[in-house]
Structure 1
Amino acid sequence: MSIIPTIKRFEAESYLSEIETVVVDQSDGGVCLEQTVFYAESGGQPGDSGSLLFEDGLCLPVADTRYIPGRLRILHVVTPPPGMVLTGRRVVARIDWPRRYRLMRMHTCLHLLCSAIDAPVTGCAIFPEYGRLDFDLEDTIDRAELTGRLNQLVARDEPIVIECAQDAAVPLVRTVDAAPPPASAEGLRVVRIGAIDRQPCGGTHVRSTAEVGPITVTNVQKKGRRHRRIKLVLDDAMPPA
């Protein structure tokens, strides 16, 4: 029997925080849903957390969200009571929205950083508390100057839209040894930030650069002759002095 892929509502509706759906499969690791708002870990962005609320009042925390090998289905990591059958049951899937929104802001911010540095990206990590990109770069980077440039891009309030591009229109992929860009029957999923940046991406993003808010480049590390690691935070996430 062929496996029906999970419908990924987060790809087109990143601001959707909950939906009603059905459990289609269950394993020791968790459950698969017919459709989901939970982003599965990929592209440097961690999987969503949240909860599954069943009609009888059962509430199961979702600790993580991951792709099952083959990437057709998404596993929601939960621990149901022993012996409980969840397959076939209706459920409200609800993400931890404050955490997701911070990840959306941070992911968008890293696109801005990518556009500001003219060098290939060799690594990426996105967390609610901070984000970082690694660049194949020899040049010295002035942390304060880069912070200023990024905040200027944020202040432009550029719109962020999701496009589908056919192969002939594929924009530059800046990541070295990148995984294949996200694609569907319509084409590649491309994130365009006004006139600032345009590249394939499967992650979740805010609607405009202004939503990112003020940011600070906290560290520029020299990890090797041609390896610069740039770490930044959203200012409302900065730790106390």
Structure 2
Amino acid sequence: MTLPLFRDDAYLRDAVGTVTTLTEEGGIVLDQSIFYPTSGGQPGDSGRLIWDGGAIEIATSVKGDGDQIVLVPAEPSALPPEGTQVTQTLNWERRHRHMRVHTALHLLSVVIPLPVTGGSISAEKGRLDFDMPDAPSAKEELEVAINQLISMNLPISDSWITDAELDANPGLVKTMSVQPPRGSGRIRLVQIGEGANVADLQPCGGTHVARTLEIGQVRIGKIEKKGKQNRRVYLHLA
């Protein structure tokens, strides 16, 4: 397995790691990784590996067998042999923008309290698909509402519950198309706010900013009809 260092510290930009496996496709697996693998609509991280005698650019990161995280080189190059200690460095600006967009999408699901049928994240914008037969009456009101939540500078924290606890609280799951990963016996919850000011609480394995003010201003973009009951709502970083 690969220990996901980003899970405990999403702000970790550099770390050492040891190569445990080289895949047949030319991917690199480390014993521990700061690179988030593509999942849940969030793209895999990019960056660089450096070791004694070599370096390689990483284009993206994906899930491998079991709990492995596979780092995908940007172009064919000499790979660090198994057992090599490397220094990992994130493309931090790109990752941080993913964190901002991802956290903002959580808030979008608060101001539009409807089931989510899909979503995606990029460094500039994100979108959520909602089970929404009719378009919202005032896009400007949504934009004001989400920016008000951001301005409250709410803290973001995480905790863990068991599969059984989630089954007892099915309302925590907002996404209809993607269910929280099971099998490990526990599921990560991400909470925005605290005490009487909890704005959102839902299962999520992605990376987020520490406080909502760090998201910055956002604007609501296009709202598109996608099928009989679905509306796609775009959100942009200002």
TM-score (norm 2): 0.90
Q: Is the 8 A contact 1:182 1:189 kept in 2?
A: no
Q: SS where residue 207 of structure 1 aligns?
A: coil
Q: SS where residue 158 of structure 1 aligns?
A: coil
Per the TM alignment, residue 183 of structure 1 is displaced from its structure 2 partner at its CA by 6.7
Q: SS where residue 109 of structure 1 aligns?
A: helix
Give 2:134's aligned residue.
139
Aligned mates of 2:182, 2:93 — CA distance in 1? 25
Q: SS where residue 205 of structure 1 aligns?
A: coil
**Which of the residues 86, 101, 106 maps onto 1:106?**
101
Give 1:24's aligned residue.
20
Give 2:156's aligned residue.
160
Aligned mates of 1:153, 1:226 — CA distance in 2? 27
Per the TM alignment, residue 223 of structure 1 is displaced from its structure 2 partner at its CA by 2.1
**Aligned residue pairs, count:** 227
Q: Is the 8 A contact 1:182 1:201 kept in 2?
A: no
Per the TM alignment, residue 15 of structure 1 is displaced from its structure 2 partner at its CA by 0.4
Correspondence 1:23-172 to 2 at 5 A: 23-27=19-23, 28-56=25-53, 58-68=54-64, 70-78=65-73, 79=75, 81=77, 86-141=81-136, 142-170=138-166, 172=172
Per the TM alignment, residue 62 of structure 1 is displaced from its structure 2 partner at its CA by 0.2
Aligned mates of 1:177, 1:131 — CA distance in 2? 17
CA shift digits 1:62-82 (9 cap, x unpaired): 0110001x4421110125535
Give 2:237's aligned residue.
234
Aligned mates of 1:214, 1:183 — CA distance in 2? 38
Task: Give the AA of the match of 1:163.
Answer: S
Per the TM alignment, residue 138 of structure 1 is displaced from its structure 2 partner at its CA by 1.5
- Give the unaligned 5+ runs of structure 2: none
Is 1:216 aligned to 2:201, yes or no? no
**Which of the residues 210, 224, 233 maps onto 1:207?**
210
Q: SS where residue 104 of structure 1 aligns?
A: helix
Change (3 A) 1:7 1:118: same
Q: Is the 8 A contact 1:206 1:212 kept in 2?
A: yes
Change (3 A) 1:62 1:231: same
Change (3 A) 1:224 1:126: same
Q: SS where residue 103 of structure 2 aligns?
A: helix
Task: Give the AA of the match of 2:35.
Answer: F
Q: Is the 8 A contact 1:182 1:202 kept in 2?
A: no
TM-score (norm 1): 0.89
CA shift digits 1:127-146 (9 cap, x unpaired): 00110000011232121111
Per the TM alignment, residue 222 of structure 1 is displaced from its structure 2 partner at its CA by 1.8
Task: Give the AA of the match of 1:64.
Answer: T
Task: Give the AA of the match of 2:114.
Answer: A
Per the TM alignment, residue 59 of structure 1 is displaced from its structure 2 partner at its CA by 1.5
Q: Is the 8 A contact 1:38 1:65 kept in 2?
A: yes
Q: SS where residue 149 of structure 2 aligns?
A: helix
